[in-house]
Amino acid sequence: MDEATIRVGGEDRIDLPIIEGTEGEQALDIGNLRRDTGLVTLDRGYGNTAETVSAVTFIDGEEGILRYRGYPVDQLVRESSFLEAALLLDRGELPSRAELDRYEEEIGRHAALPDGIASVLESFPAGAHPMQKLAAAVILLRPYLPEAGDPTDTESARLGAVHLMAKTAALAAWSYRSGADRIYTEPRPDLGYAANFLNMMFNPGDGAYELNPAHIRAMEALLVLHADHGQNLSTSAVRLVGSSQADLFSAVSAGILGLSGPLHGGANQRVIEMLEAILADGGDTRRYLDRAKDRNDPFRLMGFGHRVYRNFDPRSDLIKHHARSLLHEQDDPLLDLALQLEQEALADDFFIRRRIYPNVDYYSGILYRALGFPSEQFTVLFAIGRLPGWLAQWREMISDPQVRIKRPRQIYTGYPRRDYIPIDKR
C-alpha cells in the first residue's frame, strides 16, 4: 500500500495510507489523523472528501463517464428496462431471465397501495408540492408495513426495498391526481414499469386512453438514466439518515426531500420555468446569459454546471437525443430556445473558463413536458428514477461491517467562554 507523509508543525511527520479504487482513483485515508495529530480536515461542500467506498456506480467527471456496476449508462439506457437496471444496481450483476421474471412478479405482487392512502394525500392543502406529498407518502408506508425496512434484519431490509420499488410510482401518480382530478388508477404492473406509471398518471378511466409506445420508451430511458449517481446529495442524505439505523422509509424520505432543492433535482422544474420566462420576455437569450454572468445578479442558468462533470454530462446528451427524436415532428419553441441558449453558453468565455456545461436537468424537463407532465411533477420523476440507487446504496451501507454513524466535525468560530448576564443588566 502506498503512503503519503505529512508534516504537522516542527518535525512531526505522520504517514497516511493511500487507498486506490478499481479505476485508479486514489484517496488519502485520514481515519487516524485526529488520533495521531489532533487535527481534523475542513472541506466545505465535500469537494475533496470521499465519505465511503462503494462498488455501485463509477463516475469520471473529467471524462464524462458514468457506469452502473461497470456497465456504461448509454448501453443500459439502450438495452435495459428500469427494473433490470434496478436489479443490477442492487445485486451487482445483470439478472438472468428467470431472476428478472421473479423480481418483476414480486414487484407486481406488492404494487397495490394500502387503503386510505388516497384520502391522506387529499388532506394536503392545495398548492402542496408533489415532492412534499411523495416524501410524506413514503413515510406513511412504514406503519402499514412494520415487517419491512428494518436495517438490522436482512430479509426485512430486502423486503422494504421491494415494497418501495413496487409502490413509489403509484404513490407519485396518486399524489399528483389527489391534487388534480382525484381519479386513482390502480397499478397495472403487467404493462411494464414505465407504461404502468404513465397509465396511473394520465388514464382518465373513460376507456379511451391509449399508451403511446414512443412515450413508454422515452420514460423507461429517462428512469434508467437517473437510476444512480454515486454519493450525490440525496444519496448521501439516505446514507446519513440510514447510518442512525432509522428504517428504510425514513432514509428514502430524507433522500426525496434532499432531491427537492433547486440546486439538486429541483433544477429540472426551474429549467422549464426559466425557458418559459425567457420566451415570454421576447426570447433574448444574450440578456439572460449576461445576467447569469453578473456576480451581482442572483440569476443562474438552471440546468448548467455540475460539481463532478467538468467536460460534459453524458446524461445530458442522451436526454437531448431522446427529446429531439420525440419532438422531431413538432415545433417546440422551448426546445429551439434551449438549443440556442446551450450553443451560446458553450461559446461564451465565462462558461468555458469555469467548465460549465448542460447537466441532466437541462433537457429532461423538455422531454417530461413532451410526455405530458406538468412542471411541478418533474422532480418527482427524478425521484422515481433515483430510487434504485438510493436502495442499492442503503443496502450496501447497512451490510458494510465498517460503517459507523455519520457525524461530521466542525471548526467552532463562535465566542470563547463568557458568563451569563442577567436580563436586566443587558
Ligand X SMILES: CC(C)(COP(=O)(O)OP(=O)(O)OC[C@H]1O[C@@H](n2cnc3c(N)ncnc32)[C@H](O)[C@@H]1OP(=O)(O)O)[C@@H](O)C(=O)NCCC(=O)NCCS
| 322 counts as catalytic | no
Of these residues, 306, 331, 349, 424, which one is catalytic? Answer: 306
How would DSSP label each residue in 246-278?
--HHHHHHHHHHHHTSTTTTTHHHHHHHHHHHH
Amino acid at 297: D
Selected from 104, 220, 247, 361, the binder of ligand X by CB under 6 A is 361
Could you give the CA distance from residue 356 to residue 345 in angstroms, rounded to a whole number?
A: 9
Query: What's the closest the beta carbon of residue 265 comes to ligand X, in angstroms?
Result: 8
Contact string (CB under 6 A) for ligand X, positions 336-355, x = contact: ------------------x-
Of residues 18-57, which lie at the interface with ligand X (CB under 6 A)?
45
| 361 counts as catalytic | yes
Residue 107 touching ligand X (CB under 6 A): no
Query: What's the closest the beta carbon of residue 122 comes to ligand X, in angstroms?
Result: 31
Torsion sign over Cα 216, 222, 225, 229: negative
Selected from 218, 267, 366, 391, the binder of ligand X by CB under 6 A is 267
Beta carbon nearer to ligand X, 87 or 256: 256
**Which residue has 442499492 as its cell numbers?**
392
Query: What's the closest the beta carbon of residue 349 comes to ligand X, in angstroms?
Result: 12
Query: What's the closest the beta carbon of residue 63 comes to ligand X, in angstroms?
Result: 18
**Which residue has 413509489 as its cell numbers?**
168
Could you give the CA distance from residue 131 to residue 264 in angstroms, rounded to a whole number?
A: 13
Cα–Cα–Cα angle for 359, 408, 25, rounded to 5 degrees: 50
Could you give the CA distance from residue 416 to residue 123 in angstroms, rounded to a whole number?
A: 48
Contact string (CB under 6 A) for ligand X, positions 273-302, x = contact: -------------------x-------xxx
Interhelix angle 193-202/154-179, nearest 10 degrees: 30
Total residues at interface with ligand X (CB under 6 A): 17
The interface region with ligand X, picked from 117-125, 237-245, 303-311, 384-392 by CB under 6 A, is 303-311
Amino acid at 280: A
Q: Are strands 3-8 and 65-68 parallel, antiparallel or unpaired?
A: unpaired
Residues known to be catalytic: 306, 361
Q: Which residues bind ligand X (CB under 6 A)?
A: 45, 263, 267, 292, 300-307, 354, 356, 359-361
